[in-house]
């Protein structure tokens, strides 16, 4: 392991867990082998249990960190003067996780009830020979010099040992008007790099109503939708006319249960479309049964009851722990992404160390894919423009800047989809009715297919198909790429492209690849969608095309030509075809690492590859798997995708003059999003 990074807070409520999850996310995006450990469970005021860091890391990442040492056990060892024993236990806990480039270790947050937290953080830095990352709260908007001074004071204990280093500081909850450059300069005067200034985004701090109920020990009067987010708490002391102006979505109304006027006003507001978070009734008082009966007409509004009076309840609400909970994965993902987006890439690279081998993780691949698609700024037509998954994907692409989508559909059908899904099209999404534009392509279609006897009447009929209209738009250069297949067969998507777009100059055939996002890496499968039984020459072409597609998306190509036999262990026409194709690849592209015939396990598993094919540059570490026929390829990709719960992106078509990509009819929304991104990247790729 190159580096252990211990994250420690400079005070309470700095978002330590959020920062650690953001660090793990950012390292994973960058292709750095990252690990995570929370050595000691965070002590809680309510008791020794309840740490969520390890559980969140397991849920959000591929990592499997160990459970931490319970807080009460750590306190008992410290109280008995057995700190060294505690540190030995922690070293043993951490050691199995130490095979990564960077290991993120989450320290402890101090509290009035557990004053030993800072002492333990200092001991951890020494026991793990860790660099220290300070996490500071910037929400006060303090002068950068004052903030830096407080960080330097917190850093002092970690600079006393010869081998201890402060790797930097992440400042969280930074106001929108704060000057990050000034903060960086102030910290630099104390020789502390700024790792990132994380902006304060109120929406990622909002708890759910269920969280509030759990923290307060409230009993549920009306369950409603407990997943609603609480954006603010309104203490309802005013009469209804004054209260109405303050009601808004996300508000939790705090009021005694006998304030029937407020209860009824809240119900009326909810019935008129206002999405209040809920009602929290105090003093143990429930509304009169007749008033409570009115709430049955209100859908989704939670109503909770606590026995405490209003003022102490308001104080407890203010003191609710803002740290992430293990079951709120939606909030955890958004918080981790917010932190990761704010971290300085150069600083992260310095922590990982220069010259280390980088692996392309699924997170890194997706991050690279989205970034490249944004830079491509391509206009992508989607002929299945009213299909719900496609519409959801288009909304996501437009919001994330992945492409400029064009939905080809009857506007009335699209409007029906938007109503049923509750979606709204963001700016930048175009909608074109294919029936209104089809006539403009009749003459060109006749010209393109004249050698096949195409007439204007036949062209008019063909252009009744939205995929054909979209393909003609692509042929005319009005769009940069096409994605379809969510409700159409591969043949229905690909046939117009083969007839009208045709193969690229220098390409012998059209083939396909899937990018398979395995747990720890991304590999390429080809051909799994187009060519049923390729010849040796065609198989060699598929291998070269697949290697080029892999390299274009950041996957270092090591090509395994798959067969039921490894090397010369088997015989027959199928094996001979794969062997001949392997020889052709070596002849045509001596720069590519290729081997075959290889069985799948010999290609994918290091120990088996070394045993069956010693000395091979590919066996045991293949990244591009070329299957001998469509039967094998399609079956394998679907088996891996479904049985191993693997995300597959594709099929991405190779060899066409312009990019057209087919979707699986079982495609999820994210599959469509990433296929659109692939198409955008292909649209800007240099053509032979």
The token duo for 244 is: 């109405």
Decide if 588 contacts 511 (C-beta within 8 A): no
Residue 656 phi/psi, 5° resolution? -80, 155
DSSP 342-389: HB-HHHHHHHH-TT------HHHHHHHHHHHHHHH--EEEES-TT-HH
Cα–Cα distance, 37 to 23 (Å, whole number): 12
Tell me the pairing of strands 278-282 and 404-408: unpaired
Q: Please list the helix, strand and coil fractions of the chain in percent, rounded to the nearest 5, in that order.
A: 45, 20, 35
Residues of the chain with pLDDT under 50: 1, 46-49, 161-163, 354-358, 688
Extract the tokens encoding 466.
């939205």
- pTM of this structure: 0.60
Q: What is the pLDDT of residue 116?
A: 82
What is 511-652's CATH topology? Rossmann fold (3.40.50)
Quote the pLDDT of residue 251. 92
Domain with CATH 3.40.50.300 in the chain: 3-202+329-352
What pLDDT, on the 0 to 100 scale, is given for residue 94? 84
Give 181-249 as a DSSP string: HHHHHHHHTTT--EEEEEEP-GGGTPPBHHHHHHHHTPEEEE---TT-B--EEEE--S-HHHHHTT--T
Q: Exposed (0-12), middle (13-18) or buried (19+): which is 263, by Cβ within 10 Å?
A: buried
Distances in Å between the Cα of 572 and the Cα atoms of 270, 565, 567, 578, 627 are: 72, 10, 12, 10, 16
In order of 351, 502, 512, 539, 540, the CA distances from 509 in angstroms are 46, 9, 10, 10, 11
Q: Distance of CA 109 to CAs 44, 121, 122, 135, Å?
A: 10, 9, 12, 10
- The confidence score (pLDDT) of residue 686 equals 61
For 472, the enclosing helix (H) or strand (E) is helix 466-475
pLDDT in tens, 39-57: 998 876 543 345 788 889 9
Predicted local distance difference test score (pLDDT) of residue 605: 86
Residue span(s) of the chain under CATH 3.40.50.10950 come to: 365-500
Q: What is the DSSP letter of 488?
A: S
Q: Judge whether 12 and 111 are in contact, CB under 8 Å.
A: yes
Residue positions counted in the chain:
688
CATH 3.40.50.10750 intervals, the chain: 511-652
> Can you give the pLDDT at residue 174?
92
Per-residue pLDDT at 567: 73
The three-state DSSP-derived secondary structure of 99-144 is CCCEEEEECCCCECCECCHHHHHHHHHHHCCCEEEEEEECCCCCCH
Cα dist from 363 to 65, 99, 324, whole Å:
18, 19, 22
β-pair partners for 647: 517
How many CB atoms within 10 Å of residue 79?
10
Name which CATH class applies to 3-202+329-352. alpha beta
What is the reported pLDDT for 26? 93
What's the token pair of residue 540?
């060699």
CB neighbours (10 Å) of residue 615?
A: 7
Task: Tell which CATH classification among 3.40.50.300, 2.60.120.260, 3.40.50.10950, 3.60.10.10 matches the domain 365-500.
Answer: 3.40.50.10950
Q: What local confidence, expressed as pLDDT, does residue 241 receive?
A: 87
As a whole number of Å, the CA-based R_g of the chain is 30
Strands in 660-662's sheet, in edge-to-edge order, are: 430-432, 404-408, 379-382, 481-484, 660-662
Q: Which CATH superfamily is domain 209-318 in?
A: HprK N-terminal domain-like (3.40.1390.20)
- Cα–Cα nearest to 132, from 323, 324, 1, 3: 3
- As a whole number of angstroms, the distance between CA 318 and CA 152 comes to 29
The residue whose two tokens read 């030509």 is 561
Buried/exposed code over 442-451 (b: 16+ C-beta within 10 A; e: otherwise): beebbebbee
């Amino acid at each position: 392991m190159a580096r252990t990074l211990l994250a420690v807070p400079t005070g309470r409520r700095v978002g330590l867990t959020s920062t650690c999850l953001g660090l793990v996310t950012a390292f994973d995006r960058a292709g750095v082998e990252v690990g995570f450990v929370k050595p000691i469970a965070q002590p809680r005021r309510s008791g020794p249990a309840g740490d969520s860091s390890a559980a969140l890391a397991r849920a959000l990442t591929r990592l499997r960190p160990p459970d931490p040492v319970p807080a009460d056990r750590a306190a008992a060892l410290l109280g008995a003067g057995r700190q060294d024993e505690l540190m030995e236990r922690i070293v043993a806990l951490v050691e199995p996780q130490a095979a990564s480039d960077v290991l993120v270790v989450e320290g402890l947050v101090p509290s009035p009830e557990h004053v030993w937290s800072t002492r333990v953080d200092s001991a951890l830095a020494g026991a793990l020979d860790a660099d220290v990352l300070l996490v500071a709260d910037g929400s006060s908007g303090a002068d950068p010099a004052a903030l830096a001074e407080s960080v330097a004071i917190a850093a002092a204990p970690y600079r006393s040992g010869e081998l201890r280093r402060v790797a930097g500081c992440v400042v969280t909850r930074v106001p929108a008007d704060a000057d990050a450059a000034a903060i960086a300069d102030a910290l630099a005067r104390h020789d502390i790099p700024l790792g990132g200034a994380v902006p304060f985004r109120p929406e990622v701090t909002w708890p759910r109503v269920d969280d509030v109920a759990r923290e307060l020990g409230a009993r549920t009067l009306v369950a409603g939708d407990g997943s609603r987010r609480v954006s603010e708490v309104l203490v309802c002391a005013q009469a209804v006319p004054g209260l109405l102006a303050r009601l808004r979505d996300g508000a939790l109304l705090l009021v005694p249960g006998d304030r029937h006027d407020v209860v009824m006003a809240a119900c009326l507001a909810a019935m008129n479309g206002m999405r209040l978070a809920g009602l929290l009734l105090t003093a143990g008082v429930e509304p009169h049964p007749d008033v409570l009966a009115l709430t049955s007409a209100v859908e989704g509004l939670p109503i909770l009851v606590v026995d405490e009076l209003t003022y102490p309840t308001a104080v407890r609400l203010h003191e609710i722990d803002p740290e992430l909970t293990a079951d709120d994965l939606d909030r955890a993902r958004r918080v981790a992404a917010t932190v990761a987006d704010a971290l300085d890439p150069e600083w992260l690279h310095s922590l990982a160390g220069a010259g280390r081998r980088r692996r392309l993780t699924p997170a890194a691949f997706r991050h690279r894919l989205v970034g490249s698609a944004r830079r491509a700024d391509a206009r992508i037509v989607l002929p299945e423009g009213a299909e719900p998954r496609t519409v959801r994907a288009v909304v996501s692409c437009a919001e994330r800047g992945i492409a400029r989508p064009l939905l080809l559909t009857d506007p009335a059908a699209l409007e029906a989809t938007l109503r049923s899904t509750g979606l709204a099209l963001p700016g930048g999404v175009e909608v074109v009715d294919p029936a209104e534009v089809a006539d403009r392509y009749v003459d060109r279609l006749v010209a393109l297919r004249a050698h096949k006897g195409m007439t204007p009447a036949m062209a008019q009929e063909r252009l009744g198909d939205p995929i054909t209209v979209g393909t003609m738009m692509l042929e005319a250069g009005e769009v940069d790429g096409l994605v379809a297949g969510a409700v159409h067969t591969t043949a229905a998507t690909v046939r117009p492209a083969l007839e009208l777009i045709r193969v690229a100059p220098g390409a012998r055939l059209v083939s396909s690849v899937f990018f398979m996002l395995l747990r720890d890496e991304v590999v390429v499968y080809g051909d799994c969608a187009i060519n049923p039984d390729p010849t040796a020459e065609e198989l060699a072409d598929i291998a070269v095309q697949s290697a080029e597609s892999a390299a274009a998306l950041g996957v270092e190509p090591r090509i395994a030509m798959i067969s039921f036999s490894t090397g010369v262990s088997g015989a027959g026409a199928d094996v001979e075809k794969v062997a001949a194709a392997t020889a052709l690849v070596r002849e045509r592209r001596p720069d590519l690492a290729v081997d075959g015939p290889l069985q799948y396990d010999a290609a994918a598993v290091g120990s088996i590859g070394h045993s069956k094919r010693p000395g091979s540059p590919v066996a045991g570490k293949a990244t591009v798997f070329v299957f001998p026929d469509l039967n094998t390829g399609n079956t394998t990709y679907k088996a891996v995708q479904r049985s191993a719960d693997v995300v597959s992106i594709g099929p991405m078509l190779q060899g066409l003059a312009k990019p057209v990509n087919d979707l699986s009819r079982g495609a999820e929304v994210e599959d469509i999003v990433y296929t659109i991104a692939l198409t955008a990247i292909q649209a800007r790729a240099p053509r032979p």
